Structure 1
Amino acid sequence: MSRFFNITTSDDGTSTIFLYGDIGDYTEVQSGRIAQELMEAERVSRRIHVRINSNGGEVYSGIAIFNALRHSQADIRIYVDGIAASMASVIALCGKPVEMSKYARLMLHSVSGGCYGNKQDLQRCMEEIESLEGSLSEIYAERLGMSKEEVKQTYFDGEDHWLTAKEALNLGFIDDIYDADPVPADSTPAQIYTLFNNRLVEPQKNREDMNLEDVKKRPRFKDCASDADVFRLMDQLEEEAGKVPILTKENTDLKARVKTYEDKAEAE
């Protein structure tokens, strides 16, 4: 499983899903995988935290994720750790509640897209973009208490609208602000995105290193002088383990044959 797609469960039974990366069928945050992870999280817990650090991505994939989270029977709480831009800002709205790190950023802008073809093809593309903006405007409007047209005029004007956590709270996008490990005050949105991604990756890397050190302490690995020796021994053990089913079957067959001879001898 990709390091950006994982479910962790805490001691109190809360599951956490990370939406770290771009949204789309061929990128880190894939709607199908998120839906599967959500179903797995619902199976083991009723409280689910969704943590976001995403620059956005494909609208249709984002809408699928939004609907999966919105219709979940679990208690969905969303935390914007770093960036919730474009389609990610829409997904963030379905949390009950939605909280942002005081260093995070929310961003809204017009739908972008493109196509190739004749003027009819281009016209259909423009109509589809306008239709999508209408759908997204309804989602924002429901959260903000604004009309659909007010949202379109304010945020779908061709500009990027970056909001700090305080601005997002005052406008009604989020419910609260939480503290987090600080980032440099002059960080750009791109730098914030990278910082929070690294904070997710590094603990996992450290955990992998720690696990390898634990393996070295086991008696079977005491003579391994290097990590390479450890992995070679692991390969040998894996190969031996692969032979177990075959050996077990042979053992069972031999026992059956011996039993047949014993029964025959006893009968004679």
Structure 2
Amino acid sequence: MKWYEILNLTGGAGDKPRSVTINIHGTVGGSFFDPDAVAASEFIQAVQSMGDLDEIRVSLATPGGNFFDGLAIANFLKGHKAEVIIEILSEASSAGSAIAMGASAGKLRAYPASFMMIHNPLTGMQGNANDFRAMADKLDILKSGLLRLYAERTGIEGATLWEMLDQETLMTAEEAVLKGFVDEIIVTEAPVLNCNLASREQVKSEVLNSLKGAVSAQNSPPVNGSDNDAVQIIKMCHDKNLSFLASDFVTQNLSITDVQSRLTTANDIQNICATAGLNTVTQNLIQNMNNPAELLRIAVSETKAEMDEDIDSGGPKDLTQNKQNNENIKNSWSRAISAVKR
């Protein structure tokens, strides 16, 4: 299956720049499992057949694909004399994130509801222990190539990027901008007629301002905090593995002290839920920690579900054990609600 499409070639007459628009939608590169899949070499030849170009516009929506094909496309675009504008339509994951690095400086843009994911190179193989050890060393070499590609664009130090690849890092468009992978969020409220891409610091400011203005004007409190506060809030939530709280904290214009207090409460809820075996409702509880009625509804629903599960599975044969189970459930929720009240 062909994963790219060259839509049209425009310009060339008078002073109009020669521009080509390309969709890269789907799994990139050749595949052992798909004999109809095409390699990067065909893509490169197709672009070269367009002749001299002043501008290449790429719409990117790919979960990734062949490592070397993705790298070949990225390096081909980086080395092309045309200005390369890449827009992430939905995702640029795995080898797709490498292709995104082929955009010209300041020309990598993403829609607000798009994502980027980076991870270590993968392979499948069979062999003995020596074969596997040798392959692990080769994969680290390939990983170092990715590090150079990402570091050149983001300026992030090697050790940090190494850890991000180890953790298989998934980023929203806003997070990708803040980390330097993406240059700009695409504004969709009105057509972009005159695109003047800002510096990275300006882009960060725009992203943070958009977060602050996410609530409606009638409910929005006056914004008194600084952009630096918003950046610190996002980092604080990320460090506590509570990134899903960051947007609400910023839009509510909370002070750093208030955020620290709420994160402490949220962390208490996390710990208690882990101890009590209530992991399935942890995030829901945290998101409603200031809503006692909703907390009660969650508690009742979860307790009922756990008791129903005992009944469905036949329940404990011993009545004493059954009472003990119910007591444990009650104590678990008592500790959780007590933590929220502190």
TM-score range, shorter chain: 0.5 to 0.7
Contact 1:52 1:83 in 2 (8 A): yes
Return the match for 2:22 from 17, 23, 44. Answer: 17
Q: Which residue of 2 aligns with 1:188?
A: none
Give distance in 2, aligned partners of 1:171 and 1:109.
15
Cα offset, 1:3, TM superposition: 7.3
Q: Which residue of 1 aligns with 2:71?
A: 63
C-alpha spacing 1:103/1:149, structure 2 compared with 1 (3 Å): same
Alignment of 1:1-268 (within 5 A): 2=2, 4-10=4-10, 13-26=18-31, 30-41=39-50, 43=51, 45-96=53-104, 97-153=107-163, 155-157=164-166, 159-180=167-188
Cα offset, 1:146, TM superposition: 1.9
Q: List runs of 5+ in structure 1 lacking aligned partners.
A: 182-268
SS at match of 2:5: coil
Cα offset, 1:87, TM superposition: 1.1
Contact 1:19 1:50 in 2 (8 A): yes
Does 2-11 or 73-82 show the bigger shift?
Answer: 2-11
SS at match of 2:181: coil
C-alpha spacing 1:129/1:10, structure 2 compared with 1 (3 Å): same
Cα offset, 1:83, TM superposition: 0.8
For CA contacts below 8 A with separation 6 or more, give which structure has more relative contact order.
Answer: 1
C-alpha spacing 1:29/1:86, structure 2 compared with 1 (3 Å): farther
Give the total of aligned pairs.
Answer: 178
Cα offset, 1:2, TM superposition: 4.2
C-alpha spacing 1:116/1:180, structure 2 compared with 1 (3 Å): farther
Give distance in 1, aligned partners of 2:157 and 2:182.
18
Contact 1:137 1:149 in 2 (8 A): no
Cα offset, 1:150, TM superposition: 2.2
Give distance in 2, aligned partners of 1:91 and 1:70.
9
TM-score (norm 1): 0.61
Give distance in 2, aligned partners of 1:175 and 1:21.
23
The Cα offsets for residues 150-202 of structure 1, whole Å up to 9 and x where unpaired, read as 2102x122x33211111111111111111459xxxxxxxxxxxxxxxxxxxxx
SS at match of 1:99: strand
Cα offset, 1:81, TM superposition: 0.9
SS at match of 1:129: helix
Give distance in 2, aligned partners of 1:39 and 1:136.
25
C-alpha spacing 1:152/1:112, structure 2 compared with 1 (3 Å): same
Q: List runs of 5+ in structure 2 lacking aligned partners.
A: 190-342
| Counterpart amino acid of residue 6 in structure 1 | I
Cα offset, 1:10, TM superposition: 4.1
Q: Which residue of 2 aligns with 1:208?
A: none
Give distance in 1, aligned partners of 2:182 and 2:38.
22
Give distance in 2, aligned partners of 1:88 and 1:175.
16
